[in-house]
Amino acid sequence: MMIFRLIAESFLFAADALRQNKLRTMLSLLGITIGIFTIISVFSAVDTLRNKLQSSVDKLGSNTIFVQKWPWVFSDDFPWWKYINRPEPSLRDYKALKERLENVQGISFEASASNRTVKYRSNSVENVTLNAGSQDMNKTWNLDFQEGRYFTENEGKSGAPLVILGADIAEGLFDGQPAVGKQVKVMGRSLTVVGVYKKEGEDMLGMSQDKNILIPLNLARGLFDVENGNYGPTITVRGKEGVSLEEVESELQGVMRSIHRIKPGAEDDFSLNKATLLSNQLDIMFKMVNIAGWVIGGFSILVGGFGIANIMFVSVKERTNIIGIQKSLGAKNYFILLQFMFEAVALCILGGALGLFLVYIITVVVSQALDVKVILDMNNVITGITISVVIGAISGFWPAYAASRLDPVEAIRS
């Protein structure tokens, strides 16, 4: 009980000292406020960006692998001359994989042609991406519909003249009217709309289906060369539920090497891309940004810490005679030490709280103005408060220690 009473009295002394010197208190808060504001702002911006990018990456699927010519992530010593001679994924590869893979729930062959125009009567939408996919594409991608359906197996196999539209394209062509059953023109062909994707909104990696259309692969083969590298041929493989990504990747790599007759020890002539590659690169990038935030904010906090240490030395000098009186009345050294330590910590907590409040105001303004969900995570708040306490303890220790070692007689005489 005595310890708690001493702590309470120390806080009261500290609060009284801060209240009596408002201007000095505000000036000493400035460095800490700027430092905490900078660090937590960077952390919040990184968390927000990470959340948006990760949600885009998650659309690829955690158990999905893409067989492609080029890797998504390049090393510093990128041997482009090796990759450029690789073959593009072919329909032969796709058919062989479909026959031989066991740990997969779906395999699809896909190709895309960009900058196409879709027309309906006098309306048209330009810069549309035309995707072509084999029948199992609805098993390798999560396709949500706001209207209509996916292709049936017979429609996919026969290459029926059907199309699925993105939400923005349907809105541009039909102005809110039902799209299913209507005839649109793509690459000179009349296609019947059987479905409209659910609206997804903006996507940071450009993977939104809102401005895409999808036609059966067998229909696309009569419109363009789906195996040509200009159309980005890709074989997408999604593993079965309960089967690890590593197991799916190992089986896929072995079968692909067998199909291409690659000798043991020779390098693969294909790339197996997956969402974790992007996630790992994002983690590395965000770590660098976080370090930059620590460095920039650290300088402000360092300046603020020196400022608080100087303020505390001034405070000790001003209250030397009061310290002498307290000691003469029986105050212990640790009581004097705690009194000034708590004052320094309280200063830093006030500065940190003000910095966090400014970050919160900015998150609210940005969220309202740009319609972006800005994240101020509780971990960041705790980090800001912890930094404030640590800086306060470090900055206030030496002035507090000097005050606690004062001789009471000499202190009163001052």
Q: What's the pLDDT at 75?
A: 65
| Cβ atoms 164, 192 nearer than 8 A | no
Where is the domain boundary, 237, 269, 301?
Answer: 269
Same domain for 210 and 96, yes or no, is yes
For residue 74, tell me if it sits in a domain. no
Across all residues in the chain, what is the average pLDDT?
A: 83
Same domain for 138 and 254, yes or no, is yes
Where is the domain boundary, 235, 269, 303?
Answer: 269
Same domain for 191 and 120, yes or no, is yes
Domain that holds residue 149: 87-269
Number of domains in the chain: 2
- d(C-alpha 388, C-alpha 33), whole Å: 9
What tokens appear for 125 in the block? Answer: 């939408």
Same domain for 290 and 398, yes or no, is yes
CB under 8 Å to 390, separation ≥6 — which residues? none
Q: What's the pLDDT at 13?
A: 64
Where is the domain boundary, 243, 269, 295?
Answer: 269
Same domain for 254 and 108, yes or no, is yes
Q: What's the pLDDT at 57?
A: 63
Same domain for 256 and 371, yes or no, is no
Same domain for 6 and 112, yes or no, is no
Same domain for 226 and 367, yes or no, is no
For residue 68, tell me if it sits in a domain. no
Q: What's the pLDDT at 9?
A: 65
List, for the chain, all residue ranges whose pLDDT scores fall below the cut of 50: none
For residue 296, tell me if it sits in a domain. yes
Q: What's the pLDDT at 184?
A: 93
CB under 8 Å to 376, separation ≥6 — which residues? 40, 44, 359, 360, 363
Q: What's the pLDDT at 42?
A: 79
For residue 329, tell me if it sits in a domain. yes
